[in-house]
Structure 1
Amino acid sequence: MATYRQVMREVLRNFILSTPLRARSPAHLFDLSSVSLFGAETPPGKVARATGLTDRVGEGGRSVYLDVDEELTVVIAVTGAVVRSEVQGLLRLRTQVSFCPEMRVALNEDLIIIGDQREAYGGPCISNVTFHPAVDLRDFGTQRVLRVTPVHGQTTLMKYQLLDELPTPLPFRLISSMEESPQSNRLVVCLKLRCDLPPRCHAVKVRAQLTVPSVVIGVTQELGSADQSANFSAQERQLVWSVPRLLSGAQLQASFGLTAKPPAVPSPLELGPLSLTFEVPGRTWSGLTLRYVRFLTPHGTAATSATSPPHRWVRYTTHSLSYIFHI
């Protein structure tokens, strides 16, 4: 029997064409310490999915999440001129690890802070910057690097503002027209909402809320596409027009007939303003981004897969805080 086994072993050995290779560990596969992932342009869909991972990723949910979250405040006059534009932003850290080594978060190298003596040209410009007391700023003035030792839970590492003229065109423009019909006690309002987001960007949860004249008791609607919806509340004098997703370059169109009880006629002077809410994933309006996120070992060297650093996830999001059209 032993002789037979030896013969079979020799026969099988002839079919082995390569030697086995050791598989890379999951921690090494997710190690981003040497890759400039966070400074690269990432498709919005991939950003949203990556940051939506749960504790099942990795071992025991060893993950660190960084959110660059910005809120837009915009007021646009009837003529289309921008009366006010402002960005309020923050860098938020959320940790699911009880103990973490020191972490370094690198922002844009050419980031300009108003009132700072550091010379920089052509980069994102922000003001009124404040930091959490736990953030070490020894490398921020020269390298735009934040040093922090994460603790379990959530921490806002930095807050900032961007006032006056924005570096990126506004995401939405509105074209409106009105037609009075006294004979039928109606006011017809036509709205065109144009999405001027950069290419490959999109907005979600787009919702326009329009204040109607006090005499309006009913609304008829003609919507330009099947994914749009509209609802009217006479008690709150609000017409809500919404769409779940809007791509760059797209245009929404709708027509609403506002009807009053005779003999009253809706007045255009009582119409508006229109308030728009939305969310743009994978994009910041100030231009602030993260170049890299790295962990250090107790000896001060960059962490590697052998030291099992936590997994890192970054998300960029812009919301509307107050986006107003006067019509």
Structure 2
Amino acid sequence: MKSNLLKLIRPHQWLKNVFVMIPMFFGGSLLDPSDIRASVVTFFAFSFIASSVYCFNDIIDVEADRRHPVKCKRPIASGAISVRSAWALMALMFLLSVGTVCLLDTYTHVINVGLVILIYYILNILYCSKLKQYAIVDVCIIAFGFVLRVLAGGFATDIALSKWLVLMTFLLTLFLSFAKRRDDVLRMNETGEPPRKNTIRYNLTFINQAITITASVTLVCYIMYTVSPEVVNRFHSDLLYLTSVFVLLGLLRYIQITVVDKRSGDPTKMMLRDRFTQCVVLLWALTFLVLIYVIK
């Protein structure tokens, strides 16, 4: 029972909520105890609310999941957990998120971060209920959800966000979302049945072009961020553009996984398993840290 409850709330997907720590990382306050605490609290608040959404999604999609070759193993679809228990777990995760937000230092922080999380929750409830049926709209909502994570992290730490950082977050997650949809298109082409209702509005030609466009614009946006006057002045370094090499390598690797290996169905699992990607991310982070915290 315990393992099925964990499968339902998907704690491995909490990795996505690391995005709330982006403002602290790029803001140069990675060693500030108060910002660390605020970011960690926001991380868990977002994780609990995301788990509440996962419960709702599996409740809504239970019949469709039972017909899916992989999703039929999910706890509700397989009958391991009842729908009634799933509703209760959904409510519990919501309450845990509310309680966690209240741990933030000030009333203003609680209100601002809480409002962002509420917007995320409502948007994703609408997404699960109806909006995910519309092609392009679905991936845009997913990408905007990550922007909301970054905004929550900024509000929690009182760190002003660069417009380039916000755009980059949206574009990168849009790229990953299109790559994930490519996996659905491949499955539809093999089985003749679309995994999602909106999969019929995608095909390989469109997906491949969308992946190429979003990857290219993401790289350009990152370079513009590293050379922007506000960033150079904040970190007192004009060498941040060097980290663009790792961003390019990361994007190319993910395109390789998507197009050549054909295993882009779950970006989170890929990040946890692919050593090349992990090394690239680690080298990028270490280089960035050295440039903004060591070389001044």
Same fold (TM over 0.5): no
TM-score, scaled relative to structure 2: 0.22
TM-score, scaled relative to structure 1: 0.21
Q: Which has the larger radius of gyration?
A: 1
Query: Higher strand fraction: Structure 1 or Structure 2?
Result: 1
